[in-house]
Structure 1
Amino acid sequence: MQPDGLIAELQQKNPKAFERIYERYSESTFGIIYSIVNEQTIAEEILQDVFIKVWNNAESYDASKGRFFTWLLNIARNTAIDATRSKSFKNTKKNLTADYFVDILEEKNSFSSKVDAIGIKKYIEVLKPICKKIIDLLYFKGFTQVDASKELEMPLGTLKTRNRNCINKLREILVP
């Protein structure tokens, strides 16, 4: 079945279509969530929340505004960021595990491994260094645009414009 037909069935609340969408997108969605929260059980819970949101809000997806996968990943990213801002998440991070510190020490390599985990490393590698930094902060580390602009010491408007240009360049690469 074509993705558009599958999405239309999902919007009509067809459980079989939902199952196929979950099978198709859950692994890559989990990768994005995990890269933000860095904890298996929390990422699994967020993944479940994301797909509940997809089921409940499927009719709000509009193909003329973008691809379904992009819509889904934005839901996942926002849900994961919201979870990291919650009081319970912050409390669990008060007693950090050794794995967390190992990840911090290996931060130089974290972008490459996270990007490679979802299979787009070869596409991101051809982008300009500033695009790599922006995509890493916004999409893999869960920074807000405000936080990323501070981290990169760049005005917010400039960051937004560069982000849009970087994503458009990535689209050109992915969809020739």
Structure 2
Amino acid sequence: MKAIQKYTEQELVALLKQRDANAFSYLYDNYAAALNSIVRSFIPDEQLANSVLQDSFVKIWNQASTFDSIRGRLFTWMSSIVRNTAIDTLRSKDWKNSRQNVELTDRNNEIAADNLLNIDAIGLRKVVNSLREEYKTVVEMCYFDGFTQNDIAETTGIPLGTVKTRLRKALIELRSRISNT
């Protein structure tokens, strides 16, 4: 029987930077399900979601050398890559063209309503709505509407650095409010 290898986050990162295939296999085995749930929150189609997840893992493999543990945790970094890959897929011309031919059914409306209810059920909208207006705007655009920080800056005319600062401060405030409830 094969022994199951376990790595600390630091060991895993070091091995990924050395392009160790066993470490990557371990990474996939231990993080794919969680990262797939992020993809599925953007892309309900299972086949496309699997493709986006695979593309994300290729990016993680190719960009492992750029990971900096000082800036955050490995899972947070990977989540960012997965989220951005899913958003890029949804913004692609191929995706938009494929969606033009899909009939909007009652089931699609039910799915959209369920997603809205889930956000409301956990009280996230209520907490976000309690933020200062400049924080609320950037959080809604980024997390509810799927805008990137650059898109927010271009759309609102707010400098990119200010957008980043507002998002960071808003998330700190949200974390504080949620943990106090």
- For 2:3, the equivalent position in structure 1 comes to none
State the shift of 1:65 in Å. 2.0
- The alignment partner of 1:49 has SS state of helix
The one of 161, 165, 170 equivalent to 1:166 is 170
Q: 1:143 to 1:13 in 2, by over 3 A?
A: same
What does residue range 85-96 of structure 1 map to in structure 2 within 5 Å? Answer: 85-94=91-100, 95-96=102-103
Gaps of 5+ in 1: 114-120
Determine the C-alpha separation between the residues in 2 that align with 1:160 and 1:42.
30
Instruction: Number of aligned residue pairs: give it.
Output: 165
1:50 equivalent to 2:53? Answer no
Q: What is the letter of the counterpart of residue 171 of structure 2?
A: I
Which amino acid counterpart does residue 144 of structure 1 have in structure 2?
Answer: T
| Pair 1:87–1:173, CA change in 2 (3 A) | same
Say yes or no: does 1:74 pair with 2:80: yes
Map 1:1-176; keep pairs closer than 5 Å: 1-94=7-100, 95-98=102-105, 99-111=107-119, 127-129=127-129, 130=131, 135=139, 137-139=141-143, 141-145=145-149, 156=158, 160-169=164-173
Q: Which has more radius of gyration?
A: 2
The CA distance in 2 between the partners of 1:145 and 1:104, in whole Å, is: 24
Q: CA RMSD in A?
A: 3.4
Shift of 1:148: 5.8
Structure 1 position 46, deviation (Å): 0.4
Task: State how far apart, in whole Å, the 2-side matches of 1:97 and 1:39 are.
Answer: 14
- Percent of counterpart pairs with the same letter? 32
Which amino acid in the other structure matches residue 78 of structure 1? N
Q: Secondary structure at the match of 2:70?
A: helix
For 1:12 and 1:39, the matched residues in 2 are separated by 34
Stretch of structure 1 that moved more, 104-113 or 91-100: 104-113
TM-score, normalised relative to structure 2: 0.71
- Secondary structure at the aligned position of 1:100 is classed as helix
Task: Look up the SS of the partner of 1:55 in the other structure.
Answer: helix
Return the letter of the residue paired with 1:4.
Q
